[in-house]
Amino acid sequence: MKNKLSWLLLTVSSSTLPLLTLSATTEATENNNSSGTVSPDFDQFRDVIDKKIKEFLTKIVEKKIEEYKVRSRNLLSEIDNNGDNFAEKIIESLYMQYLSNFLSKNKDEILTNYLNKGIVIVYPRIIANNKTLSEANIDYNGESYTEVKIADSDQYNYEYFIDDPDINREITVPKIVNSNKLEDINSKSDKYFSELEADFDRYFANKEDFPRLDLQSVIDKDGTVNIDKNPETNVLELTVPKNYQDWDDYIIRKIKPRFTAYDLRKNKEIEKEDVSEEEEKPEEQPILPSVPEIVPPATDSEANVDPFDAKIGQENVGRFSPYINYEFYDSINITDDAGRFNQNEEELSKFFYFNNPINTRFEYKVIKLKNVDNKLFADVKIKDTVNNKEITYESEVKKESTKKKTILEQVKIDTVNEIYLKFYDSLGLNRKIDLKKLGNTKILSNTVFNMIFESIRIYNDSSFIKEINKIISSYLIQYKDLSADALYDKVGKDKNSDFRHDIKYLLLSSHFSSYINRINFWNYLSRAYQELFNEYVSFIDTNKDVIVYNIDKIIIKNDKTKAQKAQDKEKIEKVIRALNKDINYLFGIINISNPAEIISEYDEYLSQVKRVQNQFRNISTVTSITKKLTNEDLSNSENITQRFTEAFRNLEINPVKQPKSDLFLLRILGYIILVVGILLSAITSALQIFKYKRNKNTNSKIKASLVLSWLVSALTIITSIILILIGNGGL
């Protein structure tokens, strides 16, 4: 192995270090951008940003030191001495170790002087250290960055930080008052560091920086290295590429342009978001919001928080590899030249699929193809379809071993996706999963959020994947004689195919042993509804006068008959009782002790979720108005009368039938009571015969007790029959 390694010649990617160029302007015109005031908290800005920078760097450096060590070891374990990837894995492993070493030995200096180590963080410091800003256009590395905020003081500008005295700039809007508030500084810096952490590897451990094998190169060619064994440490090493002082110098010169480009891009994007938010005019709060708020007023202090925004940083959004779609399986290979593809986003997207069937809020698209080490790689864009935030990452294009396996994988994804789209629909959501549309309630938002990510955990669990693969393998064997197209017709087009059924059953039944906060998965939503119901009962009781007044003003005064008026006066109380029973019914729909009927039970579960959700929406419209409505309120453009009346008329006063598990218990109880009744009748009859034979002149007290026993046994039998009938769905 030593001889083999010593003669491997490797070429380092020789990307030219770009210059940051800005064209100068000689005239500064007077402008009206001096409006606004500097925040009284301005003196705190610097400390806030310095603290955030230190916290970010401390966290990311510690995390990546260990992560790169592990990746280095894993790459070594993948080496096949006789395989084509032998040299490639050695190179990648050594380079990952160099990255880890770089962070480890420079850890202290990175925290105090990160710019010298290639980690460019400028934008947060510009907005935190300057009371007056300017706007400029910057051309950098072939990209144009317009409307970038820069400082008037040189010591807080890009040309100073990246140590390039030849930089010029084009100022488009001078002398802008830095009117950021302390909360703006926190918000903007949080966005900046959240995305930087999520994409850190893209800038620091980019595959384009890895040395590459080139057997045609020569040792003294510019930018070449070879692998040697250090005689002192007996450890494999890569020689330092020509024109670089050492590996630290190489790493710094590679990463610095990328971090600078990120900083410029976020400068523009974050500031643009800020302007858009400022331009939005505040609207007067309507008496009835367009989406009914399923939460009693003033009971949910964090109602407006979307758990996706609050809990899921972009670092937690899955980076899935694009797989070649079965329709293009025969025409696309993972070693194809990227140049053969039309680099149009919509055109590229049709070639690939992603294994993301549950968290449909995030949309994945291939936006660019390229070649790395003779393999096809993709730039993938993730878009949050609710707030339209986007990030990109690089991933290798993957291809399943056979076209038939590709078909089954895609049908599996489609089947799982269908299960969750139905769940979202039952809640009044769609594939965007905008949890605020649940009705502005933290209780429901957090519950649904937790359920989604518990399902994702199950779906990605190794034991679940193992069972899925068993199903796929069995169907590949079962349909081995079918062509790929015939297989798709058999399992894909047929929505009721056995394959789809098996996938549904496995996924749904896999949730039976799942618990969220010690509550079984299938009871978790029911428990949230129960908690919300209790809040509503308390709220309605407290605000009874206002609620009754508004119902009387809008509904009862327009009723045609006395009977209708009487019925409507009692309706809210009946609705509350019915809603309570509906929630209890939801608890019992899925028999968590027996998954045999889980598919049909799941459909019934969704139907009841939809019913309960609609009840809450309608009752919230009717009860959540916190003022006694006037004629002026009713005549405005919000059309309160129509919406209030429609919600009131759609309220259900009758609960659904009892859940299967409860009906089963009723049947069992009925049969037990029937047996008791029959035994009691038999005993009573025996006693009567016995007494009659011994003494035909039985006294009146004995006769009365026998009659009473007969009555009790008769009532017992009648009761048991009623329970059995109810348990069987009768009555």
Hey, CA dihedral for 53, 54, 55, 59, is it positive or negative? Answer: positive
Query: Around Cβ 316, how many Cβ atoms within 10 Å?
Result: 9
- Over residues 486-535, the pLDDT tens digits come to 999 999 999 999 999 999 999 999 999 899 989 999 999 999 999 999 98
- Alpha carbons 580 and 587: distance in angstroms, whole number: 11
Buried b (16+ CB within 10 A) or exposed e, 229-254: eeeeeeebbbeebeebeebbebbbbb
- Alpha carbons 97 and 113: distance in angstroms, whole number: 22
Per-residue pLDDT at 165: 52
For residue 372, give both structure tokens. Answer: 């790395």
Burial of 103 (0-12, 13-18, 19+ CB in 10 A): buried
- Residue 184: its H or E element: helix 182-198
Query: Around Cβ 323, how many Cβ atoms within 10 Å?
Result: 20
pLDDT at 330 over 90: yes
- Over residues 163-181, the pLDDT tens digits come to 655 456 788 888 899 999 9
Query: Around Cβ 684, how many Cβ atoms within 10 Å?
Result: 20
DSSP 338: G
pLDDT at 55 over 60: yes
- Alpha carbons 340 and 351: distance in angstroms, whole number: 13
Judge contact between 374 and 362, C-beta under 8 A: no
Per-residue pLDDT at 95: 87
Please report, for the chain, the start and end positions of each structural domain, with discontinuous segments joined by +. Answer: 2-23+38-121+180-279, 318-399, 515-649, 660-727
pLDDT at 26 over 50: no
Burial of 609 (0-12, 13-18, 19+ CB in 10 A): buried
pLDDT at 536 over 80: yes
DSSP 696: T
Per-residue pLDDT at 410: 97
- pLDDT level of residue 15 (50, 70, 90 thresholds): very low
Judge contact between 103 and 65, C-beta under 8 A: yes
In degrees, to the nearest 5, what angle opens at C-alpha 64 toward C-alphas 59 and 66? 110
- pLDDT level of residue 44 (50, 70, 90 thresholds): very high
- pLDDT level of residue 17 (50, 70, 90 thresholds): very low
- Alpha carbons 303 and 285: distance in angstroms, whole number: 15
For residue 547, give both structure tokens. Answer: 């609620």
- pLDDT level of residue 213 (50, 70, 90 thresholds): low
Rg, the chain, Cα only: 35
For residue 697, give both structure tokens. Answer: 């002149």
Hey, CA dihedral for 457, 463, 465, 468, is it positive or negative? Answer: negative
- The label of the residue with tokens 């729909």 reads 589
Write the CB contacts of 72 (distance below 8 Å, at least 6 apart in sequence).
93, 94, 96, 97, 100
- Over residues 279-295, the pLDDT tens digits come to 444 455 566 555 556 65
Q: What is the DSSP string of 219-259?
A: TTSTTEEEEEE-TTT--EEEPPPTT-SSHHHHHHHHHHHHH
Strand locations in 565-699 (E): none
C-alpha distances (whole Å) from 16 to each of 142, 199, 209, 371, 423 are 12, 22, 12, 18, 52
Question: For the chain, how long is the longest CA-to-CA vector?
Answer: 131
- Alpha carbons 266 and 620: distance in angstroms, whole number: 41
Per-residue pLDDT at 121: 93
pLDDT at 477 over 90: yes
Per-residue pLDDT at 606: 95
Per-residue pLDDT at 30: 40
Alpha-carbon dihedral angle through residues 284, 290, 291, 292, given to the nearest 10 degrees: 80
* Averaged pLDDT for residues 427-444: 86
C-alpha distances (whole Å) from 677 to each of 148, 606, 688, 720 are 87, 40, 16, 8
* Averaged pLDDT for residues 443-466: 93
Query: Around Cβ 204, how many Cβ atoms within 10 Å?
Result: 21
- The label of the residue with tokens 């193992």 reads 466
Task: Look at residues 235, 213, 293 and name the one whose alpha carbon lies nearest to residue 11.
Answer: 213
Per-residue pLDDT at 542: 87
Task: Look at residues 575, 579, 584, 585 and name the one whose alpha carbon lies nearest to residue 653.
Answer: 575
Query: Around Cβ 482, how many Cβ atoms within 10 Å?
Result: 15
Per-residue pLDDT at 22: 39
Q: Where is pLDDT greater, at 637 or 597?
A: 597
pLDDT at 469 over 80: yes
DSSP 3-state of 320? coil
For residue 75, give both structure tokens. Answer: 């790459």
Judge contact between 175 and 31, C-beta under 8 A: yes
pLDDT at 33 over 60: no
Per-residue pLDDT at 399: 95
Least confident of 187-201, 341-355, 370-384, 699-713: 699-713
Q: Where is pLDDT greater, at 608 or 156?
A: 608
- Over residues 686-695, the pLDDT tens digits come to 666 666 555 5
In degrees, to the nearest 5, what angle opens at C-alpha 359 toward C-alphas 408 and 259? 110
Put simply, whether the predicted model's pTM sits higher than 0.85 gets the answer no
